[in-house]
A and B are shown apart, each in its own frame.
Chain A
Amino acid sequence: MSYKTIASIANDLATKKVSSVEITKYYLERIKKFDKDLNSFITVNEDAALSSAKAADALIASGKAHPLTGVPIAQKDIFCTKGIKTSCGSKMLDNFVSPYNASTIDNYNAAGVVMLGKTNMDEFAMGSSNETSFYGPCKNPWDTQTVPGGSSGGSSAAVAADLAPAATGTDTGGSIRQPAAFTGICGLKPTYGRVSRYGMIAFASSLDQGGIFARSAKDTAMLLNVMAGFDEKDSTSVNVEVPDYTANLNDSLKGKKIGLPKEFFNQHLDNSMAAAIQDAIKEFEKLGASVHEISLPHSDLSVPAYYVIAPAECSSNLARFDGVRYGHRCENPKDLVDLYERSRAEGFGEEVKRRIMVGTYALSAGYYDAYYLKAQKVRGLIRDDYKKAFEDVDIIMGPTTPSTAFKIGEKAADPISMYLSDIYTISVNLAGLPGISIPAGFVNNMPIGLQMISPYFKESLLLNFAHQYQTATDWHTKTPEGF
């Protein structure tokens, strides 16, 4: 399979080698051909895609285009899109057509980027395999018996199979980086507050952050230029300058210090994974960076803290789904409590209910201090471990996941083993730091991801490291057979 990059499509559009309508049709055809099997999209709206492609072509002809005008991408079905269904992977919102756009959607629209469709995901972004989706599991194009990761599994599978040149995702505990690792593509989770959460359906508000799936660091940088920025409509948006993320891609890595947390190379990590990650890190030494062992001593408490904070915030956020103003409503409620209880029991799937209950318990009278407050204190320790580590090193590296993609159904009956597939990504969300996963080789013919973590708002540094690695290696150009 030969694939196109965002950079090459943008160039072809600017030089009029191809029109937006043509390139949009190309991907719509690929979706038609391959997605019956993969199930990476929940909604594909051809008419809307083609009409924005036409508008983009007119803009390009008028000479007023943004560098990405006319480029088609996929959007995770968690971003509200005016007039097009936004399901969040749930029966609860199967009938929901948002009356407004998420700021991310507005930003892409303003740049003239075309939306191909809305991608499959774990229900309300709660899951690590895409199996909790109301619309059925999405498959990993590298081996359709395995999961594409989650929660943004549809986005990762769509990009890996070249059904879209790039896609958005959201990451609360690893939901961009883990699927990117499982499907052999790049996945960036920016600093908390870098990308607006307005209109991005909330799961755990203090952890959720929107981000990007793409083939290369360069493509990721071009898209982050559109997606990042201050938004008055998001009260946790941070007002810091947005640099040109493509500007530093070619900087030398000479003299840069890489920290390897010894806790990331622990008993959970598969041996062949560990060897492949060490090989990837050697490439950075060849590029002039030095490697140092560091410690993040509270790492093993990140899963415990996360499984209090995320469910607690989810139970609060999902209280809004009450069957009154929008979303699923049960038939013939006998009174108001019955309306709430049956609408919610019918509208939410098992994993979502499990997390709502854990969160409700953790926040209930008498338990708040023991669970939520305790978890927020542990969160402080985890954050401070990173702060201290960054006094000595520029960037932290390790595996994105403890293993390659697992089989569909393998962990579905055991929530705890599913939760542990995010052990290396969760602490980054708790600390609010930016992180990226890039393709770094294969174990048993399945892709693996290298995770890189930088200080706050240093996305440029992550992209610089990623681009230099991709200049020296070609793992990111590998594609699955059959597409």
Chain B
Amino acid sequence: MSLTAVDIKKIAHLARLKMPEADIEQYLPQLQNILEIVEKMNQIDTSHIEPVANALDLSQRLREDKVTETNQRDEFQKIAPSVESGLYLVPKVIDGE
């Protein structure tokens, strides 16, 4: 599998990372090298192997749907970059026209 500059641009956008052209040249060979290492996995046939997400084969616990958290909005918003009247502010998403 060989990557191109177009792939890096696409990956960076999917990951929401601003990527100047100069950086693309730097990341391309590095990602390529990592994928080469990773592709050693293809040496073995795993078609009959079950994938393991939790090494202890445990699944996520379920709990009763009870309210356990208290409202701490003010506390949480104290560390936000920009808030107003209890709302998080971001640039305008939809034009008002």
A residues sitting closer than 8 Å to B (CB atoms) are 95-97, 99, 191-193, 206, 232, 235-236, 238, 298, 300-301, 303-305, 307-308, 315, 319, 322-327, 329, 333-342, 344-345, 348, 353-354, 356-358, 360-362, 364, 371, 373-381, 383, 415-416, 419, 430-433, 456
Contacts and interface: CB of A to CB of B under 8 A. Distances in A.
11 contacts: A192-B56, A206-B54, A325-B79, A326-B80, A327-B81, A336-B90, A341-B18, A356-B17, A415-B33, A432-B54, A433-B55
A356 B58 CA distance: 27
Given A301-B41, A325-B88, A381-B46, A357 B76 contact: no
B40 A300 contact: yes
Given A99-B76, A358-B34, A375 B41 contact: yes
A206 B91 CA distance: 35
Contacts of A379: 51-52, 55
State which size class the interface on B falls in. 35 or more
A326 B79 contact: yes
Contacts of A238: 56, 58
A324 B80 CA distance: 7
Nearest to A235: B60
A-side interface mostly: helix
Contacts of A336: 90-91, 93
A334 B40 CA distance: 43
A192 B55 CA distance: 8
Contacts of B65: none
Interface string B32-69: 01110111111110100111111110101101000000
A376 B27 CA distance: 26
Nearest to B14: A360
A232 B63 contact: yes
B54 to A, nearest CB: 6
A354 B23 CA distance: 11
Nearest to A374: B41
Q: Secondary structure of the B side of the interface?
A: loop
B22 to A, nearest CB: 13
Contact of A97 (B13, B18, B79): B79
B15 A416 contact: no
B5 interface: no
A431 B55 CA distance: 5
B97 to A, nearest CB: 15
Contacts of B8: 357
Contacts of A232: 63
Given A238-B56, A307-B37, A326-B80, A315 B30 contact: no
B75 to A, nearest CB: 5
A376 B76 contact: no
Given A301-B40, A353-B27, 14 more contacts: A193-B56, A300-B40, A304-B37, A308-B38, A308-B41, A323-B81, A329-B82, A336-B91, A345-B18, A373-B51, A376-B51, A377-B51, A380-B50, A381-B44
B11 A361 contact: yes
B36 to A, nearest CB: 9
Nearest to B45: A377
